[in-house]
Amino acid sequence: MKPVRLFLSALIALWWVAQLGAQAQTGAVAGQVTDSLTQRPLVGVEVSIPGVARKAVTDQDGRFSLAGVPVGPQIVQTALIGYGQQRKAVDVSAGGVATVDFTLRPQAALLEAVVVTGYGTQRREAITGSVSTIEATTARPAVTTNVDQIIQGRAAGVQITTNSGEPGTGVQVLIRGGSSISASNSPLYVVDGVPINNVPTEPDAMGIGGAPPPPRNPLNVIDPSDVASITVLKDAASAAIYGSRAANGVILIETRRGRSAGGPTIEYDGYAATASPARRLDVLNGSEYDQFVRAQVTAGNLDPIHLTKLGGQNTDWERAVTRSAVTHGHNLAFTGGTEDTRYRASMNYLNQEGVAISNGLERIQGRLSATHQDLDGRLRLGLNVTTSRVNNRYITFEQTGGFEGGVFQNVAIFNPTQPITVTDSLGTHFYESGSTSVRNPVALADQLINLGQTTRTLANASADFDLATGLTARVNVGLDHSGGQRQEYYPNASPVGVALGGGLARQADLENSTRTLQTTLAYNRPLGEGNTLDLLGGYEYTKNQSNNVTAQGTGFFTDAFTFNNLNSAQTRETFSSAVEDRIVSFFSRANIGLKDRFFVTGVLRDDGSSKFAEGHKWALFPALSGSWRLSQEAFMANGPFSDLRLRVGWGLTGNPGVPSYRSLLLLQGSTGATYPWGDTPHGGVIPYTCANPDLKWEQSSQIDAAVDFSLLGSRLSGSVEYYNKHTKDLLLDVSVSQPATCSTRLENVGKLENHGLELSLDAVAMSRPGMIWRAGLVFSADRGKVVSLGPNSFITSGGVSGQGQSNQVSERIMPGQPLGTFFGPVFSGWDAQGHQLFKCAASTPGCVNGTTTTPAAADYAIIGNANPDFTLGVHSDVTWGRFDISVLVRASVGQDVFNNTALVYSTKGNALQDKNFLRPALTDPTGIHEPAIYSSRWIESASFVRLQNITVGYDLNLPVLTRTARSARVYVSADNLLLLTGYSGLDPEVHADAGLATRGLDYLSYPRPRTVTGGLRLTF
C-alpha cells in the first residue's frame, strides 16, 4: 500500500474523532483597522483567526466582525498586501463580542505575509524552502504579453531570456541554471493550483530558407493584468510537492479574485505604446556598396559584370522592413459581491504591432472568477474561467539555418543599390534580382501569408469543505483546452512560392486538452504555545491529449484563394497524428512549527507517468527542510534583527519532459517508408523508434541553505542562499549500438551538477510623510558542469547557420565543462593573401609554423562559455506625493555569445554574388574569395547592463474632480531605454534552438524594440 494512502486514511479517521468534539460554544470578534501613516481606515483587510475557517474583510470604514469564534483566548490576525501582518490576542466569551483594533504600517519590503505554495498557502515565516514571490501589481513593465516578463530581473536565480523582439515571442526560463540536456528546461507552471501543460498551442510553420521562428509563448493566454501574484519555487524542498515535473522549478500563478469590501468596483486600464527597433545591423548603405564594387572592379578583384548589378538607388532594407509599431491594450474589470459570494469579471483586448512590418498579435480575452461560501463558511466554492483568442500574424524570419533565407537574412544581404519596387510594363511590383539566392525582404514580409490562431480555455472549479475545525477536504477540477491553427500561403507572385511548386497553401490544426482532478485533505491547527501542525495529503490525476491534422496543396493557377481552397491545388498532401499521456500522483506534506522558532517541512510524492517503461513508471520524490527563527530566541532579542532565519533543505525532483511512447518500438507509415514497385509507390511501414525498456525519470537532488533576515525595524530585509543540485539519469538522446531501428534513442545516462549563490535585498531606503522610497536587488551566480555523459565522449550542439556552414557546430557538451561551451578552431590572424589562419599542431596536415588555413578536428579547442559569471537586477520605486517613479535595471556579466550573424555576413565575398555585407568586413584583411569559417574570432564577450524599464506615474485626485471615480492614475513608461554592452551584434541577450541545450547563439534575431507607453488606470 502506498504510504500516502495510509496517511490519507489516518486523516479521515482523525476527522471522525474531531467531529465528536466539534459542538462548542462561540462568541464574536469585531474591530477597526487603520493605516498608521495616514490614520485613515483601511478597506479590504482580511481578518482571520487561525483554526477558524471563516474570515472577515474590513468595509469602507475599516470595520470588521467575525462570528462563530470558539470561546477562549484567540489570536486575531490581519492580512493586506503592502502592509505588515499584525496579530493580537483576545478573549472570546460565549455570546459576547470581543473588540480588537489594529493600526497597520505600510510594509517595508513588500513581502506578503502569506505565500502561495504548492496545494495551499503558508505564512512567510514558516516557509522552509527557497521561494521567490513577485507581487504582480508592483512589477509591471509597460507592454507585457506574458507573465514571464513580470519575473524578469525580479527573482534571484531565475534567468529569463525572451527569444527575440517579436511580439508574444517564447521565452527561455532557466531556474538555477537548468538541469537537463535533452529534456525540457522549462519550469512547471501552475495556474490557480492547476498544472499547465506548457506546450505550443499552434502547429509549427513550414521552414523555408531556414528553421521557422519558434511558436509564440503558450502563456500568452493569461493577461498579466489578471495576475495577482507569482511564486517561484526554486529549490527541491519546496518544489518536490510537484514531484516528477519540478526538476526545473515551479512557477505558481494566482489570478485575481473578487472582493466584496467597498462595494462593487469597476476598473479600467488602458494604454497605448509605440515601439521601434533599439539597435541596427551595421550593413553598407547603397553608396558605400556602390563604391566598394567599383573599387574592386578597378582593382581586378571583381568581374566588371558586377557593375551592371548596381542599381543606383540607396535602399535601407532594414528601415524598409521595420517601423514604429503601435500597441494598444484595454482591460475592463468589475468586481464585487457580498461577504459570502464574490466575483471578478474582466475583459481585455490587446493589439500589438511588431516592429517588423506585417507582423503582430491580437488578443481578446475574457475571464470570470467567482467564490462562494456557505454553511457558516465551512463550504467554499471557487470557479475561474479564462478564455482567450490570440491571432498571430507571422513573418518569415530565420532563427537557424538559412540559404535563401527569410526577412532578416535578406536585410543583411540584399543589394542596397536596388529599389523596393519597380514600375514597368507589368505595372508596379516588387523588385526581384532574378538570382535564386536572395529575395526582396519587403516582398517576403508582404507576400507570404503566415497566420496562427489559438483559442484557449483555462478553467478550474474547486470546493473546500471543513470537515471539522482545521480539517479541510478539497476537490479541484481543471480543464485546459486549446485549439490552434496555422494558415500559410506562399504565392506564385513570390519566387518562394514558385520554387515550392507553383504556390503552396497549408492549413494545420492542433488540439490540446488537459484534464486534471485533484483531491486533497488538509489538517491545520495551532497546538498552542506557538506550535503548529499542518498536514496535507492528496491525489492528482492528469490526462493530456493532443491531435493534429495538416493539409497542404501545391500548384495553384491563381493566388486568389490563398489558403482557403486547397482542393484547387494540383497536388495535395495530408498528415495527422495523435498522442496522449497520463500522470497519476499521491502526495503528502507535513509542516510542523515548534514554539514559533523551529519549522520542519516534509514532503513525499509518488508520481506515475505513462510515458516511461513498464516497471519504471512510478517514482518517489521526498523532500525535507527546516528553518530556525533565530530572531525569536532570547539571546537575539536585543540584536539588530527584527527577523533572522536559517534554512536548510533537501529534496528530489524529476523531469518527465519526454515525448510519449518512447519506451516502445513503434511502426509508422510515412513517405520515408514508402517504396515504388513497378512505378507505383507502395505504402510502407517502418519501425521508427527503438524500444527502451529501461526508460525512466530524470532525477535531480538539490540541497539549499539560506539565511533570511530583516534589519533596522524591517526596513532592510533579504536572503542569501546557496544551492547545490545534482541531476542524474539524464534523459539523453544517445547513439544506439547498431543494428537498431533508430540511430539514437533516449536513455538515462549522464550527470549534471549546478551550484550557485543567490542574494536578494529589499529596503525602504527612505520613509517620511508623503514619500517612500523602496529599492531592491537580486543577484545570482550559477556554476554548472556536465559530470558525465554516460558512454558518450561528447555531444555536438549549437549548429552554425548560414551559407557554407553545413555540419558545422559551435558547441560541444563534454564532461567537466558547462553546457554552452563553445568549441572550435582558434583564430590567429591572416596571411598575406587574406586567408584566415588558425592555430594547429605540427601533426596536422598543412600546418606551417603553428598555423593552418584548414583547421583539423584535432586542433579544435574550448573557445568560450555562454554562461554569465553573475546576473543582477536592481529596482527602485519612489512614491512622492501623488507621483511615483520606478526603475528596473538588469545586468548580466561574463557570458560569451557566438555572433553567427557576423560570421556569415562579415564577408566581402558576398559581393561576388551581388550581396551586401556587414561594414566591419570593409576594413578586415579577409580576402574576397575566403569562405566564412567558424572560429574563436566570432566569439564575443556579451556582458551588458540594460535599463529595462522606467515608469513615471501620477495619481489624479479624481474623487475631488468628478465625484465618481475612486482613483485614477496616469503613467508613462519606457522599456529597453538603454543598453550598455561591448557586444557588436544586435543584442547580447540571445536564444536559438540550434541543438541540445544550446546557449549564446546569435543569428539574425528579430530586433528587440524600445517601447514608450502611456497609460491610464481608472477605478470607479
Partner 1 sequence: MKRLLVNTSIGAALVTFLLLPLQGCTNLDEVPISDITKGNFFHNEAEVLAALAGVYAQLRGTLDDYYNVSEISTDEMVVPTRGQDWYDNGQWLETHRQTWTANSVFSLAFGNGIWNTGYGGIARANVFIEALQNVTVPNKASIVAEARGLRAFYYYILMDAFGGVPIVTTTDIVKNPRNTRREVFDFIESELIAARADLPATRPSSDNGRFTQGAADAILANMYLNAGVFTKDAGISAGAYNSCSGVQVSGGVDACAAAIASADAILNSGVYQLADTFQQNFRADNYSSPENIFAVKFVDQAGLGLNFVMRALHYSQFNPSPWNGFATLAEAYNTFDAADRRRQVILIGQQYNVLTGDSAFDRAGNPLVFTDTIHDITQATEGEGPRVYKWPASPAHVAQDNGNDFAWFRLGEIYLIKAEALNEQSAGSAAALVVLNTLRARDFNPPQPLAVVDRSVILNERLFELIGEGKRRQDLIRFGTYTTRADDPSMAGGKQPSADYYVLLPIPQTQLDANPQLVQNSGY
Which residues, 595 to 654, sit near partner 1 by CB under 8 A? 608-611, 617
Q: Which is nearer to partner 1, 742 or 992 (CB)?
A: 742
Q: Nearest distance from residue 654's CB to partner 1, in Å?
A: 15
The reply to whether 743 sits near partner 1 by the rule CB under 8 A is yes
Q: Nearest distance from residue 680's CB to partner 1, in Å?
A: 7
- Interface of this chain with partner 1, residues 346 to 375, rule: CB under 8 A: 375
Residue of 14, 461, 686, 777 interacting with partner 1 (CB under 8 A): 686
The reply to whether 697 sits near partner 1 by the rule CB under 8 A is no
- Interface of this chain with partner 1, residues 503 to 522, rule: CB under 8 A: 517, 519, 521
| Calculated CA dihedral for residues 140, 144, 145, 149, nearest 10 degrees | -70
The reply to whether 249 sits near partner 1 by the rule CB under 8 A is no
Read out DSSP for 439-487? --HHHHHHH-EEEEEEEEEEEEEEEEEEEETTEEEEEEEEEEEEEEEEE
Q: How far apart are CA 748 and CA 726, in angstroms?
A: 14
- Interface of this chain with partner 1, residues 784 to 813, rule: CB under 8 A: 791-793, 796, 800, 803-809
Residue of 26, 660, 876, 1019 interacting with partner 1 (CB under 8 A): 660
Q: Nearest distance from residue 5's CB to partner 1, in Å?
A: 6
Stretch that binds partner 1, among 95-103, 361-369, 383-391, 676-684 (CB under 8 A): 676-684
Residue 845, classified by CB atoms within 10 Å of its CB into exposed (0-12), middle (13-18) or buried (19+), is: exposed
Q: What is the separation, in whole angstroms, between the first and last Cα of the chain?
A: 57
Q: Which is nearer to partner 1, 16 or 954 (CB)?
A: 16
For residue 739, whether the previous peptide bond is cis, meaning omega lies within 30 degrees of 0, is yes
- Interface of this chain with partner 1, residues 929 to 948, rule: CB under 8 A: 929-934
Which amino acid is present at 688? Y
Q: Nearest distance from residue 610's CB to partner 1, in Å?
A: 4
CB atoms within 10 A of CB 925: 13
- Interface of this chain with partner 1, residues 873 to 932, rule: CB under 8 A: 904, 907, 909-910, 912-914, 929-932
The reply to whether 97 sits near partner 1 by the rule CB under 8 A is no
Q: Helical H runs in 370-419?
A: 407-413
Q: How far apart are CA 110 and CA 135, in angstroms?
A: 8
Find out whether 41 and 61 touch, Cβ atoms under 8 Å: yes
The reply to whether 674 sits near partner 1 by the rule CB under 8 A is yes
The reply to whether 687 sits near partner 1 by the rule CB under 8 A is yes
Element (H, E) at 19: helix 3-20
**Residues linked to residue 253 through DSSP beta bridges, in sequence order:** 191, 230
Q: Which is nearer to partner 1, 769 or 845 (CB)?
A: 845
Q: Nearest distance from residue 292's CB to partner 1, in Å?
A: 15
Q: Which is nearer to partner 1, 650 or 822 (CB)?
A: 822
Within 8 A by CB and 6+ apart from 680, the residues are none
- Interface of this chain with partner 1, residues 444 to 483, rule: CB under 8 A: 463, 465, 467, 473, 475
The reply to whether 855 sits near partner 1 by the rule CB under 8 A is yes
Q: Which is nearer to partner 1, 622 or 931 (CB)?
A: 931
- Interface of this chain with partner 1, residues 542 to 561, rule: CB under 8 A: 547
The reply to whether 757 sits near partner 1 by the rule CB under 8 A is no
- Rounded (5°) CA angle 775-780-784: 170
Q: Which is nearer to partner 1, 211 or 889 (CB)?
A: 211
- Interface of this chain with partner 1, residues 264 to 323, rule: CB under 8 A: 303, 305-306, 308-309
Backbone angles phi, psi at 86, to 5 degrees: -130, 145
Q: Nearest distance from residue 66's CB to partner 1, in Å?
A: 19
Q: Nearest distance from residue 71's CB to partner 1, in Å?
A: 18
Helix (H/G/I), strand (E/B), else coil: 514:
strand
Which amino acid is present at 940? E
Q: Which three cell numbers stand for residue 720?
A: 542569501
Q: Which is nearer to partner 1, 20 or 960 (CB)?
A: 20
Q: How far apart are CA 374 and CA 313, in angstroms?
A: 76
Stretch that binds partner 1, among 70-78, 183-191, 329-337, 659-667 (CB under 8 A): 659-667
Q: How far apart are CA 56 and CA 374, in angstroms?
A: 14
Residue of 319, 429, 682, 882 interacting with partner 1 (CB under 8 A): 682
Q: Nearest distance from residue 551's CB to partner 1, in Å?
A: 14
Q: Nearest distance from residue 51's CB to partner 1, in Å?
A: 17
The reply to whether 661 sits near partner 1 by the rule CB under 8 A is yes
Q: Which is nearer to partner 1, 366 or 502 (CB)?
A: 502
- Identify the sign of the CA torsion 605, 608, 611, 615: positive
Q: How far apart are CA 802 and CA 116, in angstroms?
A: 47
- Interface of this chain with partner 1, residues 487 to 506, rule: CB under 8 A: 498-501
Contacts by 532-535 with C-beta closer than 8 Å and gap 24+? Answer: 532/50, 532/126, 532/591, 532/592, 532/593, 533/590, 533/591, 533/592, 533/593, 534/122, 534/126, 534/589, 534/590, 534/591, 534/592, 534/593, 535/7, 535/11, 535/588, 535/589, 535/590, 535/591
Q: Nearest distance from residue 316's CB to partner 1, in Å?
A: 23
Q: How far apart are CA 195 and CA 246, in angstroms?
A: 11
Residue of 7, 8, 284, 898 interacting with partner 1 (CB under 8 A): 8
Q: How far apart are CA 896 and CA 820, in angstroms?
A: 9
- Interface of this chain with partner 1, residues 766 to 785, rule: CB under 8 A: none
Reference 528, options 75, 997, 992; nearest CA is 75
Q: Which is nearer to partner 1, 564 or 668 (CB)?
A: 668
Residue of 38, 60, 99, 436 interacting with partner 1 (CB under 8 A): 436
Stretch that binds partner 1, among 220-228, 242-250, 433-441, 710-718 (CB under 8 A): 433-441
Q: Nearest distance from residue 708's CB to partner 1, in Å?
A: 36
Q: Which is nearer to partner 1, 684 or 953 (CB)?
A: 684
Binding string, residues 808-837; x marks residues near partner 1 by CB under 8 A: xx----------------------------
Element (H, E) at 720: strand 716-728
Q: Nearest distance from residue 468's CB to partner 1, in Å?
A: 8
Q: How far apart are CA 241 and CA 912, in angstroms?
A: 61
Helix (H/G/I), strand (E/B), else coil: 868:
coil
| Calculated CA dihedral for residues 683, 673, 205, 483, nearest 10 degrees | 60
Find out whether 486 and 202 touch, Cβ atoms under 8 Å: yes
Residue of 578, 712, 766, 771 interacting with partner 1 (CB under 8 A): 578
How many chain residues bind partner 1 (CB under 8 A)?
Answer: 118
The reply to whether 671 sits near partner 1 by the rule CB under 8 A is yes
